[in-house]
Structure 1
Amino acid sequence: MASHFKQPEGTDPRGFARPSRPSSRSAQAAPHHATDDDPSRRLRTRRGGDESYHAPAGNPHAAGMPRASEGFVSVVSDPGGSSRGHDRRRREPRFVETDPYDLSGRRSRDPKKRVARVLSVILFVVGIGLIAAAAGMFIYNQWQYGEQERINEELAEYATLSDDGSTAPQVDWEGLKAVNGDVVGWVQIPGTGVNYPVYQAQDNEKYLHTSAEGTYSLGGQIFLDYENAKPGMVDAQTIIYGHHLRNGSMFKPVSDMQDQQVFDSISTVWYVTEEASYELEPLFIYQTTADDTNVRQLNFGSTDELHAYLSGLLGQAVASRGDAAQVINGMTKALSLCTCYYEDSDKGRVILVCALKSEAAAATAAASE
């Protein structure tokens, strides 16, 4: 017959005092064998579960204590007990790395992962370098545009313009020559930002990126073709070149005239020299390439050849005056303004051909008779 410990009177299984209860007839009955599964030998806990107040012989756990699950391995202990901590992670092959950094914070010694780390560092450094270079280029370009604007604004002070563009600009030639003796004329298109001195060098390269002050500049200066006779409007065709800057300065308004509506809004182009002032008007505008040598025909054997040449260019026009063909028949001179356009990368060129207003009016009148 198995024996068990008698519950001391006046205490509960947890050792706390409890009031005595009168004995009952069932309590005086003969004892019987019981196990931990016997409901009569279990108490209801405060948490709502049952726990035994008897610890079976040989059970190392006290009554009411949780029992470890079979097969449970602590996350902080080594089942084999042969190693501990970070060293175990590095030495034992059963710890498989799935990240360039293991749980201990130490780098993996896998050669492939070392290569991956080096490559990632190199790419990161290269990326930072590219961002820094792009930022530097942007800042430098903005500085260049600012310098070009400063030069343009200072040179613009040498000319006085009429409010409506009906009269020619009044130019301080002595002041301009003191800055740069290569100045030969002044070009203005009323209603636009085109208002610049015109220079001429020994070639068509110098003033592409050289300012009137003789220093490098993004937009250079507006310049007369080096093969044209000074100061312009002497040859049958006078050509003036200028950059098309993306901030809207230099000859960008000329490029904008490829739109017929913009073209129609411009009625006057002024070219002024020390000796004379020429009032012209847009006739047509056409596109071509940088290697088109036909653009630079400056003189012709006769006016008929000039008319045939201009009529051929009119066939390429993207915008034009409605009676351009009639006006061409009365022309003896043409002024052409040449700049870039970006629809064809950096190879595109656009040329605005202008006629003297006096010759255009005479040709129109003759055609109407």
Structure 2
Amino acid sequence: MKKRIIIAIILLLLFSGAFAVYRYRQKVCLPEKRISEALEKQEKLFDRIRPDVDGTPAAAPISPDIPLTEANDAESGEAPPPSPLEDVREVCSDAVGWLYVPDTGLDYPIAQGDDNSFYLSHGLDGESDPFGLPVLDYRCAGDFSGYNSVIYAHNYENMAMFAPVGLFRENSYMDSHPRGCIITDRGREEIEFFAYLTVPADSPVYNTVFITDKDRREYAELLLHTAAYHSDITAEELSQKRLVLLSTCTFEYDEARGVLAGYFLSD
């Protein structure tokens, strides 16, 4: 009888161990493998289509109130040069730009869909992807000509996607990484960063509709007032700029968002 009990206990332990190994493989190993494979696939694709950031000419200045089509029509009759995003658009027709911030890991295409959800769970090729893509808010002008362009992406522990945005919560990090750029159809648009904010997901900083100069000025005041820190630029000066917000999830509290705010230098 005692021998049977010992055998039963051994079998139970073996079964429990095998089940634990199975659960670990299903819950940890396989998801990690899928994430690793997705990241490798993404990196290979991006390496193939990444625009020549350093070789892309600077974009000409543009007013927030003048659509780019009108600005292009006002230029000489010469045919416009090919877009630096041609290779990206061959893979994804919804691509609107390429974000690059030196020495941070922020080096990604930007897509804009009919909503803000699709490309957060799909890759540039339209297939399901846990990393997704940086997404320009569907309410924003797709050519970045509007007053405020809000770009969202996930925050991954391996510093993928917009995880590096959280590094900017330290003022010293912005001091050492003050600029980035977005490659658009018009060329290279330089960005100067001026503030970092921690806000709830429903914060009014995600507003994208501005009708009057007063609207823009009040929004600029909101950004500066809400910021954890900011440069010495004034709300009046910001109201005359085109703004760019890089937003990602952070973990200070439930539904917290970290926002890196900048403006285009060509204005």
| Kept in 1: contact 2:220–2:236 (CA 8 A) | no
| Kept in 2: contact 1:241–1:338 (CA 8 A) | yes
| Kept in 2: contact 1:280–1:355 (CA 8 A) | yes
Helix, strand or coil: the match of 1:332?
coil
Q: 2:244 aligns with which of 331, 335, 340?
A: 335
CA gap 1:350/1:126 in 2 versus in 1, 3 angstroms = same
Asked if 1:301 is matched to 2:193, the reply is: no
Tell me which amino acid in the other structure corresponds to 1:344: Y
Asked if 1:197 is matched to 2:109, the reply is: yes
CA gap 1:271/1:133 in 2 versus in 1, 3 angstroms = same
Higher helix proportion (structure 1 or 2): 2
Q: 1:175 aligns with which of 77, 87, 90?
A: 87
What does 1:24-35 align with in structure 2 at a 5 Å threshold? none
| Aligned mates of 2:96, 2:188 — CA distance in 1 | 12
Q: Unpaired runs of 5+ in structure 2?
A: 60-81
Q: Unpaired runs of 5+ in structure 1?
A: 1-99, 109-116, 360-369
Helix, strand or coil: the match of 2:228?
strand
Shift of 1:307: 2.1
Tell me which amino acid in the other structure corresponds to 1:229: A
- TM-score under structure 2 length normalisation: 0.78
| Aligned mates of 1:250, 1:210 — CA distance in 2 | 13
| Kept in 2: contact 1:176–1:183 (CA 8 A) | yes
Shift of 1:330: 5.3
Name 1:355's counterpart in structure 2: 263
Tell me which amino acid in the other structure corresponds to 1:192: T
CA gap 1:125/1:288 in 2 versus in 1, 3 angstroms = farther
- TM-score under structure 1 length normalisation: 0.58
Name 1:264's counterpart in structure 2: 175
Aligned residues: 243
Q: 1:140 aligns with which of 9, 14, 30?
A: 30
What does 1:288-327 align with in structure 2 at a 5 Å threshold? 288-290=199-201, 292-321=202-231, 323-325=232-234
What does 1:1-369 align with in structure 2 at a 5 Å threshold? 101=2, 105=3, 107=5, 125-126=15-16, 128-143=18-33, 144-158=35-49, 159-162=51-54, 172-231=84-143, 233-290=144-201, 292-321=202-231, 323-325=232-234, 328-329=237-238, 331-344=240-253, 347-358=255-266
Sequence identity (%)? 23
| Aligned mates of 2:214, 2:135 — CA distance in 1 | 28
| Aligned mates of 1:334, 1:316 — CA distance in 2 | 16
| Kept in 1: contact 2:155–2:248 (CA 8 A) | yes
| Kept in 2: contact 1:263–1:320 (CA 8 A) | no
Shift of 1:304: 2.9
After TM superposition, where is structure 1 displaced by more than 4 Å over at least 4 residues in a row?
A: 120-124, 165-168, 326-330
| Aligned mates of 2:205, 2:36 — CA distance in 1 | 29
| Aligned mates of 2:160, 2:137 — CA distance in 1 | 20
CA gap 1:298/1:326 in 2 versus in 1, 3 angstroms = closer
* Relative contact order, higher structure (CA 8 A, sep 6+): 2
Helix, strand or coil: the match of 1:342?
coil
Shift of 1:324: 3.2
| Aligned mates of 1:278, 1:358 — CA distance in 2 | 7
| Kept in 2: contact 1:243–1:340 (CA 8 A) | yes
CA gap 1:133/1:331 in 2 versus in 1, 3 angstroms = farther
CA gap 1:139/1:167 in 2 versus in 1, 3 angstroms = farther
Helix, strand or coil: the match of 1:278?
strand
Shift of 1:305: 2.2
| Kept in 1: contact 2:220–2:238 (CA 8 A) | no
| Aligned mates of 2:197, 2:36 — CA distance in 1 | 28
| Kept in 2: contact 1:189–1:270 (CA 8 A) | yes
Shift of 1:217: 1.0
Tell me which amino acid in the other structure corresponds to 1:160: D
What is the RMSD computed on CA atoms of the aligned residues? 3.0
Tell me which amino acid in the other structure corresponds to 1:355: Y
